[in-house]
Amino acid sequence: DPWWNPAVEAQATDRAHRIGQDKPVFVYRLIARDTVEERIVQLQDRKRELAEALLDDPAGGPGELTAEELLALLQ
């Protein structure tokens, strides 16, 4: 099951790449079409895009953020 917070999933993936791991690591995320999981992944992608835009250009960011976009980042 995907998490609402993309950072939690990134952390779980990063755990597979532990120090001392000398084998290739492959992470597969299986998401069925037209499910709640698909919608969660879409929300994760949007959160990631907003966060990256703010981090890339903190002065300007992605332009004016709506209240909805700000709340999405904080959820």
pLDDT recorded at residue 63:
62
User: b/e for 2-30, b at 16 or more Cβ within 10 A?
Assistant: beeebeebeeeeeeeeeeeeeeeeeeeee
Q: What tens digit of pLDDT does each residue of 6-63 get?
A: 888 889 888 888 888 889 989 898 999 999 898 888 888 888 888 887 777 766 555 6
The structure's pTM equals 0.61
Tokens of 15: 């755990």
Q: Domain boundaries in the chain?
A: 6-10+26-74
The alpha carbon dihedral of 3, 46, 29, 31 has a sign of positive
